[in-house]
Amino acid sequence: AHKPLESGAVRLALHGVSALSVTGQPALREVTLEIRSGEILGVAGVSGNGQRELAEVVAGLRPLTGGRVELDGSDAGTWSPGKRTDAGLAYIPEERMHDGIVQEFSVAENLVLQDYDHPPASRGIFLNFAAIAQRGRDLVRDFSIRTPSIDTSTRSLSGGNIQKLILARELSRDPKVLVAAQPTRGVDI
């Protein structure tokens, strides 16, 4: 007989969350949910029915018009995206080319976008280029990112390899909460 998994602590909670679409129309209306450690929640629907707005609200990229977002029991509704990242939130955006990478940056630079100001990628106000390069090599290998070099401009990668780069960057941070919008779209296997 299988023993049921025990529920972990609530990592993400939305209480009556409402938000507008880019056109100013209601996209989310009083959404309430809780996600605990070890749980996976999938949100399915027709494109344009609020999934993107939901992900952006959780990531701190879209303002609330009502309700509350909590991360690990703390009210994160006014937190910046950076503070949410530092609190353990990882975000894989739907629009990878526009929101997921800096196209002009190298593969290695994009792989440390979330951590460039923390050791080992930095030493105080100085970047640790050797550590950044090593992290880049490790993640390119571990996630099978096809690139000529870690110094290659990310703009030259295929869409699937850019998606793998974003997945590598976010998953390698061992997040408490992962928000992934269209995470497998275009991934090269």
pLDDT digits (tens, 9 = 90+) for 40-52: 999 988 788 899 9
pLDDT digits (tens, 9 = 90+) for 129-150: 999 999 999 999 999 999 999 9
Give the C-alpha separation, 149 to 156, whole Å.
11
Give the C-alpha separation, 39 to 24, whole Å.
32
Give the C-alpha separation, 26 to 18, whole Å.
8
* Residue (of 52, 154, 47, 61) closest to 111 by Cα position: 154
CATH of domain 95-189: 3.40.50.300
- Domain 1-87 class? alpha beta
CATH 3.40.50.300: which residues of the chain?
1-87, 95-189
